[in-house]
Structure 1
Amino acid sequence: MSNNINANNLNTDSSSSPVNVPKMDALIIPVTMEVPCDSRGQRMWWAFLASSMVTFFGGLFIILLWRTLKYLWTVCCHCGVKNKETQKINGGGDTQADGACKPTDEKEENVAAEVGWMTSVKDWAGVMISAQTLTGRVLVVLVFALSIGALVIYFIDSSNPIESCQNFYKDFTLQIDMAFNVFFLLYFGLRFIAANDKLWFWLEVNSVVDFFTVPPVFVSVYLNRSWLGLRFLRALRLIQFSEILQFLNILKTSNSIKLVNLCSIFISTWLTAAGFIHLVENSGDPWENFQNNQPLTYWECVYLLMVTMSTVGYGDVYAKTTLGRLFMVFFILGGLAMFASYVPEIIELIGNRKKYGGSYSAVSGRKHIVVCGHITLESVSNFLKDFLHKDRDDVNVEIVFLHNISPNLELEALFKRHFTQVEFYQGSVLNPHDLARVKIESADACLILANKYCADPDAEDASNIMRVISIKNYHPKIRIITQMLQYHNKAHLLNIPSWNWKEGDDAICLAELKLGFIAQSCLAPGLSTMLANLFSMRSFIKIEEDTWQKYYLEGVANEMYTEYLSSAFVGLSFPAVCELVFAKLKLLMIAIEYKSEKRESRSRKRILINPGNHVKIQEGTLGFFIASDAKEVKRAYFYCKACHDDITDPKRIKKCGCKRPKMSIYKRMRLACCFDCGRSERDCSCMSGSVHSNMDTLERAFPLSSVSVNDCSTSLRAFEDEQPSTLSPKKKQRNGGMRNSPNSSPKLMRHDPLLIPGNEQIDNMDANVKKYDSTGMFHWCPAKDIEKVILTRSEAAMTVLSGHVVVCIFGDVKSALIGLRNLVMPLRASNFHYHELKHIVFVGSLEYLRREWETLHNFPKVSILPGTPLSRADLRAVNINLCDMCVILSANQNNIDDASLQDKECILASLNIKSMQFDDSIGVLQANSQGFTPPGMDRTSPDNSPVHGLLRQPSITTGANIPIITELVNDSNVQFLDQDDDDDPDTELYLTQPFACGTAFAVSVLDSLMSATYFNDNILTLIRTLVTGGATPELEALIAEENALRGGYSTPQTLANRDRCRVAQLALYDGPFADLGDGGCYGDLFCKALKTYNMLCFGIYRLRDAHLSTPSQCTKRYVITNPPYEFELVPTDLIFCLMQFDHNAGQSRASLSHSSHSSYSSSKKSSSVHSIPSTANRPNRTKSRDSRDKQNRKEMVYR
């Protein structure tokens, strides 16, 4: 270079300040007198560039030379081998051959040893750089991190001149860069050793980066000067960013890997090109003697490249050098193509990135649940409306929804409205990674929703079962509540090892509960509506007008709650507590959780519904209440006799500050005794002074902490035996709760009510006859062939059916099974006597019923009429106008896409029946039909018979008066059932007249059970106990094993299972409660029925127009749940009640079977073919029915 600086300015004795550059300062490197630099100030860039070129081309030459020599050696050796083979073929001497082979073998052994050593080193190097081991992963990540560090150092140095004199020992950045490059050199050696093809390794990008960045650093140390040069090539290392993230297990999805790849390639190309422009523009063209340079910072070059790629080109910054402009020409071609392809793809990937792909962050002190399965706007809105209802206690639970499809706009808006308690994440419960995202291991429960409207229920159940398996496999201890569509699929859940219903796992079978609700409506019309409203959270809607909706909605506001009973109730009988709670606390208690004292009992905790007065309340007993608010139920827990005995306003019953003393055993027994006597504690003489002498013995028998059923019952029995004079005849008569019941005998039923049956059962037990299933919960008969129960139209007409249940079923050979066993089982519960069973007649396709028959062939009194429910001839043949209930079901509802047409068959059948007309001649047959009588009642004494209703129904001449319950899939279709109602199509189902009257039922009402079960798993147990007729986990395990009920011999243990209450309806127009029916008070009726007959009343079934002053011809009734104490009764009311099992009705009613509503049908059916048997022989009909069936096939058909 021709330009030199003044020698005086370069003298080492001069000042240490930088030299003053006159005109050509851009061409001369800055020099300090402390640095021994080139005295002439010439540029040395060529030395840095030459080091890289020599390294690259020298190594390339050596590799090519080695390959050439190796090729020539291979060719020569190959020729020598061929010559030796030719000599061997020509018959060369053996000695010569042996002598020639020996040195060859030794050479081969040496080569093999050398190759083995080199292979080991090569394999070791390959493992080190391939990230297969922890050391290799650390090494790869460290190299990448140091490369980014070297790039950062370049960014720092880019603010300095391109070339400058620097002292290695004083320049900190140069020292760091030197250390980095030494490490890169060692890593390059490992890569070279591990490479299979050295030539391709030498030409790959990472190697080129090392060639042009590592050698210049060593040159800078030697020359004490620095050249920025090609160090920007370190930006090309960013291309490996996605690989590093995959090594660290950060990137797992293809979209994320692709996105990072595109971004890293785009950014590395951008930064590298900016570095080249920065170099040439700040240096100038060599052929122009570096005089056409321009000062540009590195970041200005980055800006220039971006506006160039995007074809914007503002012109404020541009290249002046020839090299820079030439580079820009080619860069525009490649950069524009890259910008046009990469940027839209990057934006698309970012836009398609899961909006709900994050992870849930658990909040300390707040539980969360995971909801998955069928997530739609309808299912989520129904779930949230019930789960977050204001009537519940403060719900401090966050709901996390997990679904593999992103929500639509409506569902997204719903989530935003509940954003404080609801979160949504996109994913699948079948993916363990997604389960970890929603923190399933710390969740309080996992709820799985089912698609109730799917075309293939078995496939939907299989999907939910797989979800359960996946969740349980990930975290076996998680509590799962899942919806199931088909009853038989519940058996598969029992195969999951970690499935444990005792730990809170529950399966809500929609078919089981839906058909169970409908079956209970056959026994007590309107009960399905009442129960559905009880476990659904609904707000109170106040209506001022005196209409039927006013009283119905007051009952709708009631829900079912559980609460522990106060210690003030300990020792009192269940009816005593019920009366006290209802009259004083304004609560209705219908059941308790009973803890058996029998250790050998399988389940020590049982839910007893209205168990009777032989069950005494223990300490810590859990009660089941019907109330309108959770806060109201707290009164049962806070009640204190000392503090709240004189309070008349139940709202004032709150937690008191006194220490409640333990009530003495004598006091507890005295209160229980006084309740049975119906007298006040002061006037009661049951526990006279003679009893006090035995109190020492009693204190030892009764622990003060709790009073068990066994201890109380045994002690009371001892008093009755030892002190007969102290018990009045009235006390003896009512001690069991009902006249003529076995409880009146003090030596019977004074033990665990779960184990010991009544004496009538034990005395009359026939151990050789199987009348019940193996659990004793259901009536059973040997399997019957379907051909034996098929009725022709003429045979059905001759049978003169009455008081029966007609089931109209739509289905064909391709329809999904709905599980008719769940409809029949509640109607065959063993707490009915055989003659009380209502005959069931199925009207529908025989092909469909054949498929269902395998689960029905063990139930008695079942017949089939092949036909169609739309045929009036078939309906008249089964005497539909004399039936107790007509049930309309369809198995084809989910095969239609149009929601409005899903219920077309059921609606047409319902309207067809309602438009039928009948003559009154058949009404004579109903004159003897008096329905059922409560336990302990004698039909011969009408004054003592409280139940005649439902009972003597007027002769039906029009189909509109036939009791019908129709199953619907689409809630909005309820508007088509009643033509005379004024329901708006947008009205919620529970507000419509058909639902309020109990004539329509939709499976959607069961959605509320999910949240109800989560908050209290006992609610589901209670509901299932009420509606299924007594299905237990043991029975489900048995059905899962055999898919059929197994007959069992009658034993005291199985017969004891018959002693459970059932739902019935109590008529008020005659009988002992007739005086209360005309303007009486509901609370007085409640107390009288409870004290006198142990019947627990819980609702009213009232005529729709009963509130009108003018008479009405309308026979429709609606449901009133849990009326208040002062509610006024009318004579036409029917009262829902829980009735005790009558042990004596089996004998007493067998002799009167010809006059009962149910057995009248049986006798009429027999009379159509045979003469009516004599009255004396009727009690033996049950015992001899098997032999008679063998003798006459037709009679078995009619049974």
Structure 2
Amino acid sequence: QAIWLVSGAGDAGTGSPSGNSMMSRNIYHNKNQDSSISISKMDVIIPFSPDVPCDNNGQRMWWAFLASSMVTFFGGLFIILLWRTLKYLWTVCCHCNTKKKEAQKVNNPANSQAADGTPKGPDEKDEVVPASEVGWMTSVKDWAGVMISAQTLTGRVLVVLVFALSIGALGIYFIDSSDPIESCQNFYKDFTLQIDMFFNVFFLLYFGLRFIAANDKLWFWLEVNSVVDFFTVPPVFVSVYLNRSWLGLRFLRALRLIQFSEILQFLNILKTSNSIKLVNLCSIFISTWLTAAGFIHLVENSGDPWENFQNSQSLSYWECVYLLMVTMSTVGYGDVYAKTTLGRLFMVFFILGGLAMFARYVPEIAALILNRKKYGGSYNSTRGRKHIVVCGHITLESVSNFLKDFLHKDRDDVNVEIVFLHNISPNLELEALFKRHFTQVEFYQGSVLNPHDLARVKIESADACLILANKYCPDPDAEDASNIMRVISIKNYSPKIRIITQMLQYHNKAHLLNIPSWNWKEGDDAICLAELKAGFIAQSCLAQGLSTMLANLFSMRSFIEIEEDTWQKYYLEGVANEMYTEYLSSAFVGLSFPAVCELCYVKLKLLLIAIENKSELGESSILINPGNHVKMQEGTLGFFIASDAKEVKRAFFYCKACHDDITDPKRIKKCGCKRREYIEDEHPSTLSPKKKQRNGGMRNSPNNSPKMMRHDPLLIPGNEQMENMDMNVKQYDSTGMFHWCPSKEIEKVILTRSEASMTVLSGHVVVCIFGDVTSALVGLRNLVMPLRASNFHYHELKPIVFVGSLEYLRREWETLHNFPKVSILPGTPLSRADLRAVNINLCDMCVILSANQNNIDDASLQDKECILASLNIKSMQFDDSIGLLQANSQGFTPPGMDRSSPDSSPVHGLVRQASVTTGANIPIITELAKPGKILPLVSFSQEKNCGINIQMITELVNDSNVQFLDQDDDDDPDTELYLTQPFACGTAFAVSVLDSLMSATYFNDNILTLIRTLVTGGATPELEALLAEENALRGGYSTPQTLANRDRCRVAQLALYDGPFADLGDGGCYGDLFCKALKTYNMLCFGIYRLRDAHLATPSQCTKRYVITNPPYEFELVPTDLIFCLMQFDHNAGQSRASLSHSSHSSHSSSKKSSSVHSIPTTNRQNRSSKAREAGHKQK
């Protein structure tokens, strides 16, 4: 009977396929259980089911298809194992024979000699003939490896073709899955079977190539792709032979999808790690899903064999796909479920792995897709709109500060899009900030070190690239190195792009000069935070409060109106001022600078502080408050202080013919004069960032100095002054911008506590520095250089005493050893004994710095050392009468006044005693005050002077820590830094205020040049190149050219309670003072340093002062005011001290406040004595 069944199966092909198929469907749906066909015992082995009536008995032949795959797999596995076993046995036997032969050779060495007893020559062959170098099997194996390798074009084509055909075979399976599991098919009439046959023949050939090229045949036989071929290729040949089709395990072709990412990489479609990872996850998930669905489809439509296939159910393949998805996701609606035992058993095991895969893969796929869409892609530029790229340290704080200043409403229409590029996706807070500015801000995830990411943000067409630095990083040099690498990458990709970068350390600026395409003439700029921070603090030592005023000028602040008559009202009115540039109208041509400055202030309500002057050679230079000799030229660029950009337009629109009789400056607008059209065409406004205006300032000549350029030969020092200068002594550096002395060993400037006490220091600058061997260098040279500018005479230089760790100061000394009047007291700023030894109560300024601030993670503790030192000094008590003469009442005598007159006589005489030489060979000059000159001016009683009256400025890292400096203020902890009392008073400075320079420099790089000019004391590109070479100042001889460099402005404070402006100090107008100082002494006033409680009717003992920037004309003055002004260099001031000036560069003389020695003039007028006495009390 078994033979009959097999022969029946062989005759099944003679029936009609279509009729059999229709009969199968009818029987299947009717579920007719009645049958007249007798079932024998063999029907258990060859099951009967009437749904596929390929013959009259309706027998299934699924076992034949499955047997072909099983026989192929296990037969091949058996052959491989048998071959390995025989090979192992052969190797063992040969190994034993080889050992025996070697033993015989050792025991009988005569065998290695010829018959005549001579040794065998090298050319004589042994009995064993060596095999050929490369056998034919090896050649065939190498050829097969090349054919399937993706390293060659043929291999890549073959791999891609196999993958494509596998997907095609899977598609045929999807089509056939709508038919019954097993059906009769005529190979010559079934088109899909023919195509599937062609595909599988190709797969068979490719399998042969892979088998030949495999090094380990056993592992090759067991790998996934081989198993797929075993269960899909042989059944196709069986179906052709039997003329029937079994859907079977053809769903395994879906496992080929796992190689999809490899194929895309071969085609160079996938290049990034995220895209490769995304395709990998998707392909593994989908292939597992489709393969499992195919198995459920097979067993559910077939039924269990032990149930005689009677428990099957009709499920389409896509219903099985749906079932697997709801199973993996643990939803399980119950509308579709497995009925067969095989199906349920499979689901038990699949749900374990499927659930784990679903929970892991799906969220990761979703995250990759969402992030790819959110911060991937490329920037699409808008026509008529520029864009800038901002990169580097991108955080919520840095971005918010940047956007607040860049997009400020006071700027003229900012038609610029900001593109942020960072390799880390933004957090929720930063993302919310971007959304609030979505019309002008875009964010892209990437790195400027990757050219592909630079292309995405269109860096080549960007107007500029701004690089932000992390000001709080523990390793500033590493941060600078990162930013320099960003500059190199950007310049390598687009050499002409303008770059503005922040640098933390001054010495790292030299590395930018090594970049070939770095060109400061075309707008490239490096904003060195350490240089500017130290320069701001140094200027505060010369005029306290100047750091606050300058910081507010280049920062965009909105006007805050306060009705109450408080000090905040006047301070905030000044805070609303910013610095702008604008071309001057042709109406100013031919006028001197003081005349134009007075006209702008009185009529236009603008403060002109500097101009850009072009020489005959076309080189540009910035002139700050030049004298009468400078005449305005056509198209002169002016630097103004005003409240917004629209006000500055008045200087551009001003026409004498049309606006001469106008009193309201708001009515000064564009007129119809022809000359207006000319200058407008020639010199457009500089308020918009245009590249053709970037060459202003000091950019056209590296030899130009940011100084008061004087072209009048009459201003070069005359013969009398030149006689007092020793041409053979190097008194200044090679540029003539700074005082210089031969380098000194650090041991020669070290003071012990007793030596410091014997040196009655006064009028000096005490620098309290916290640091150790491991601390990052703060760059003390940038602090000392402005205090040693050559526009001071030698006797005017304030001695500088450093109090701190000697180990740290040794590391800084290499950059300080060429500056005169510098001393070191090893100790700690927290020691009151050290502070008393340096007479801190007699100093002009105490600077508190720390090099350890960025080594602490807790932001609130970063400034602990500076805060403790500040509070320690304020709580000290002093019993020194001379301490009452502090800078609260200091000023200077305007240049040009006759010092022999009674009105300009010194307030007290200083008798310089002979130098006392100590054991350390340190000359000490002692200054004694004559009490007879002090008592008439200041009402004095023998009470202790409090340390709170000592002028000091404290550097902070964290802005919120400013609340701890003043215990008597009422500042809210959440108040912005510029609104706090310590900052308004100029006693606190934070590096965060320099963030605004990035925006200011982009819109007008002349602003940065002007700021550098004001705060660095004369640093030039020439000097920077010199310091990059030698890291030290080089001395130079005093020539007329270098001495001419001294002729530049400097900032000072003018006292009003006595002297030539005393009549204006009591109720006078600020505008009258402005005009008188400008006409009489060429002094340009730009602010007031006023006592905090000066507006109160009752006297106050508070000596705190605050800054008022650019007051209006009618602003009322009080006698205790100190006026910020730009004063001219006085050539005659140093003649009387010429013999003293450079007699000893290494001496540690202390001139009791050189600018105040002759700056508090006495007077014989009795009506002023009471005011002076009252002023002295207020300033204590």
Normalised by the length of structure 2, the TM-score is: 0.76
- Name the CA distance, whole Å, in 2 between partners of 1:543 and 1:962: 55
The reply on whether 1:646 has 2:661 as its aligned counterpart is yes
- Name the CA distance, whole Å, in 1 between partners of 2:423 and 2:685: 76
Change in Cα spacing, 1:81 to 1:481, as seen in structure 2 (3 Å) is same
- Secondary structure, counterpart of 2:657 in structure 1: helix
Change in Cα spacing, 1:268 to 1:785, as seen in structure 2 (3 Å) is closer
More divergent stretch after superposition (823-832 vs 358-367): 358-367
- Name the CA distance, whole Å, in 2 between partners of 1:728 and 1:273: 65
- Name the CA distance, whole Å, in 1 between partners of 2:708 and 2:258: 88
- Name the CA distance, whole Å, in 2 between partners of 1:1006 and 1:222: 86
Q: Post-superposition shift, 1:948?
A: 13
Among 812, 833, 836, the alignment partner of 2:793 is 833
Q: Is the 8 A contact 2:606 2:648 kept in 1?
A: yes
Q: Is the 8 A contact 1:29 1:163 kept in 2?
A: no
Change in Cα spacing, 1:738 to 1:300, as seen in structure 2 (3 Å) is closer
Q: Is the 8 A contact 1:998 1:1119 kept in 2?
A: yes
Change in Cα spacing, 1:209 to 1:720, as seen in structure 2 (3 Å) is closer
- Name the CA distance, whole Å, in 1 between partners of 2:1150 and 2:200: 102
- Name the CA distance, whole Å, in 2 between partners of 1:324 and 1:742: 84
More divergent stretch after superposition (194-203 vs 823-832): 194-203
- Name the CA distance, whole Å, in 1 between partners of 2:450 and 2:535: 36
Q: Is the 8 A contact 2:47 2:60 kept in 1?
A: no
Q: Is the 8 A contact 2:608 2:640 kept in 1?
A: yes
Q: Is the 8 A contact 1:930 1:1157 kept in 2?
A: no
Change in Cα spacing, 1:1128 to 1:947, as seen in structure 2 (3 Å) is farther
- Name the CA distance, whole Å, in 2 between partners of 1:187 and 1:494: 60
Query: Which whole-Å deviations, capped at 9, do the CAs of 1:383-413 have from their partners, x for residues lacking one?
Result: 3322332222333444454556665554454
Q: Post-superposition shift, 1:1023?
A: 0.9
Q: Post-superposition shift, 1:859?
A: 1.2
Q: Post-superposition shift, 1:770?
A: 0.5
Query: Which whole-Å deviations, capped at 9, do the CAs of 1:1143-1191 have from their partners, x for residues lacking one?
Result: 333325649999999999757899999999999x999999999999999
Q: Post-superposition shift, 1:527?
A: 1.0
Q: Post-superposition shift, 1:1063?
A: 1.1
- Name the CA distance, whole Å, in 1 between partners of 2:588 and 2:368: 67
Aligned to 1:496: 515
- Name the CA distance, whole Å, in 2 between partners of 1:175 and 1:729: 71
Change in Cα spacing, 1:146 to 1:586, as seen in structure 2 (3 Å) is farther
- Name the CA distance, whole Å, in 2 between partners of 1:833 and 1:224: 113
Change in Cα spacing, 1:231 to 1:898, as seen in structure 2 (3 Å) is closer
Query: Which whole-Å deviations, capped at 9, do the CAs of 1:1120-1140 have from their partners, x for residues lacking one?
Result: 111223333334433222222
RMSD over aligned CA atoms reads 10.1
Q: Post-superposition shift, 1:492?
A: 3.8
Query: Which whole-Å deviations, capped at 9, do the CAs of 1:312-368 have from their partners, x for residues lacking one?
Result: 766544445566566567656776786788779889999999986776666565544
- Name the CA distance, whole Å, in 2 between partners of 1:3 and 1:857: 105
More divergent stretch after superposition (1114-1123 vs 827-836): 1114-1123
Q: Post-superposition shift, 1:221?
A: 6.8
More divergent stretch after superposition (944-953 vs 829-838): 944-953
Change in Cα spacing, 1:56 to 1:618, as seen in structure 2 (3 Å) is farther
More divergent stretch after superposition (326-335 vs 1102-1111): 326-335
Q: Post-superposition shift, 1:829?
A: 0.4
**1:842-881 to 2 correspondence within 5 Å?**
842-870=802-830, 874-881=834-841
Q: Is the 8 A contact 2:906 2:1159 kept in 1?
A: no
Aligned to 2:100: 83
More divergent stretch after superposition (274-283 vs 462-471): 462-471
Q: Is the 8 A contact 2:892 2:1159 kept in 1?
A: no
The reply on whether 1:4 has 2:26 as its aligned counterpart is yes
Q: Post-superposition shift, 1:555?
A: 0.6
Q: Is the 8 A contact 2:820 2:1146 kept in 1?
A: no
Q: Once the two structures are aligned, what percentage of the paired residues are identical?
A: 92
Gaps of 5+ in 1: 659-718, 1192-1198
Query: Which whole-Å deviations, capped at 9, do the CAs of 1:2-45 have from their partners, x for residues lacking one?
Result: 9999xx9999999999xxx99999x9999999999989987776
- Secondary structure, counterpart of 2:226 in structure 1: helix
Q: Is the 8 A contact 2:744 2:817 kept in 1?
A: yes
Q: Post-superposition shift, 1:467?
A: 4.8
- Name the CA distance, whole Å, in 1 between partners of 2:682 and 2:993: 55
- Name the CA distance, whole Å, in 2 between partners of 1:927 and 1:883: 9
Change in Cα spacing, 1:500 to 1:271, as seen in structure 2 (3 Å) is same
Q: Post-superposition shift, 1:1007?
A: 2.4
Query: Which whole-Å deviations, capped at 9, do the CAs of 1:978-1035 have from their partners, x for residues lacking one?
Result: 4443333332222222222222222222222233223332222211110110111221
Aligned to 2:931: none
Change in Cα spacing, 1:210 to 1:1110, as seen in structure 2 (3 Å) is same
Q: Post-superposition shift, 1:182?
A: 5.1
- Secondary structure, counterpart of 2:766 in structure 1: strand
Change in Cα spacing, 1:483 to 1:320, as seen in structure 2 (3 Å) is closer
Q: Post-superposition shift, 1:159?
A: 2.1
**1:525-604 to 2 correspondence within 5 Å?**
525-598=544-617
- Secondary structure, counterpart of 2:910 in structure 1: coil
- Secondary structure, counterpart of 1:188 in structure 2: helix
Among 600, 611, 619, the alignment partner of 2:634 is 619
Query: Which whole-Å deviations, capped at 9, do the CAs of 1:572-617 have from their partners, x for residues lacking one?
Result: 44334333333333222222233333379xxxx3222223333344
Change in Cα spacing, 1:946 to 1:267, as seen in structure 2 (3 Å) is farther
Change in Cα spacing, 1:1170 to 1:532, as seen in structure 2 (3 Å) is closer
More divergent stretch after superposition (112-121 vs 794-803): 112-121
Change in Cα spacing, 1:176 to 1:407, as seen in structure 2 (3 Å) is same
Q: Post-superposition shift, 1:776?
A: 0.9
Q: Is the 8 A contact 2:798 2:1153 kept in 1?
A: no
- Name the CA distance, whole Å, in 2 between partners of 1:174 and 1:336: 36
Change in Cα spacing, 1:551 to 1:105, as seen in structure 2 (3 Å) is same
- Name the CA distance, whole Å, in 2 between partners of 1:209 and 1:732: 69
Aligned to 2:120: 102
Aligned to 2:644: 629
Q: Is the 8 A contact 1:931 1:952 kept in 2?
A: no
- Secondary structure, counterpart of 1:978 in structure 2: coil
- Secondary structure, counterpart of 2:1157 in structure 1: coil
Aligned to 1:1017: 1005
- Name the CA distance, whole Å, in 2 between partners of 1:9 and 1:897: 80
- Name the CA distance, whole Å, in 1 between partners of 2:145 and 2:699: 95
Change in Cα spacing, 1:336 to 1:754, as seen in structure 2 (3 Å) is farther
Q: Post-superposition shift, 1:1057?
A: 1.8
- Name the CA distance, whole Å, in 2 between partners of 1:396 and 1:1073: 47
- Secondary structure, counterpart of 1:1160 in structure 2: coil
Query: Which whole-Å deviations, capped at 9, do the CAs of 1:511-565 have from their partners, x for residues lacking one?
Result: 2222211211222222111111111111100112222221111110011122333
Q: Is the 8 A contact 1:779 1:829 kept in 2?
A: yes
- Secondary structure, counterpart of 2:1146 in structure 1: helix
More divergent stretch after superposition (148-157 vs 444-453): 444-453
Q: Is the 8 A contact 2:686 2:693 kept in 1?
A: no
Q: Is the 8 A contact 2:764 2:1151 kept in 1?
A: no
- Name the CA distance, whole Å, in 1 between partners of 2:559 and 2:827: 45
Q: Post-superposition shift, 1:131?
A: 1.7
Q: Post-superposition shift, 1:856?
A: 1.9
- Name the CA distance, whole Å, in 2 between partners of 1:1061 and 1:146: 83
Q: How many residues align?
A: 1121
Change in Cα spacing, 1:839 to 1:751, as seen in structure 2 (3 Å) is same
Change in Cα spacing, 1:786 to 1:50, as seen in structure 2 (3 Å) is closer
Q: Post-superposition shift, 1:189?
A: 4.1
Q: Post-superposition shift, 1:830?
A: 0.7
Change in Cα spacing, 1:534 to 1:90, as seen in structure 2 (3 Å) is closer
More divergent stretch after superposition (559-568 vs 354-363): 354-363
- Name the CA distance, whole Å, in 2 between partners of 1:193 and 1:731: 67
Change in Cα spacing, 1:594 to 1:442, as seen in structure 2 (3 Å) is same
- Name the CA distance, whole Å, in 1 between partners of 2:496 and 2:134: 57
- Name the CA distance, whole Å, in 1 between partners of 2:1123 and 2:907: 10
Q: Is the 8 A contact 2:1077 2:1084 kept in 1?
A: yes
- Name the CA distance, whole Å, in 2 between partners of 1:328 and 1:869: 76
Q: Is the 8 A contact 2:706 2:1019 kept in 1?
A: no
Normalised by the length of structure 1, the TM-score is: 0.75
- Name the CA distance, whole Å, in 1 between partners of 2:323 and 2:667: 81
Q: Post-superposition shift, 1:170?
A: 7.5
Q: Post-superposition shift, 1:729?
A: 46
Q: Post-superposition shift, 1:627?
A: 1.3
- Name the CA distance, whole Å, in 2 between partners of 1:922 and 1:744: 44
- Name the CA distance, whole Å, in 2 between partners of 1:733 and 1:566: 17
Q: Is the 8 A contact 2:1058 2:1172 kept in 1?
A: no
Q: Is the 8 A contact 2:580 2:687 kept in 1?
A: no
- Secondary structure, counterpart of 1:398 in structure 2: strand
- Name the CA distance, whole Å, in 2 between partners of 1:37 and 1:827: 108
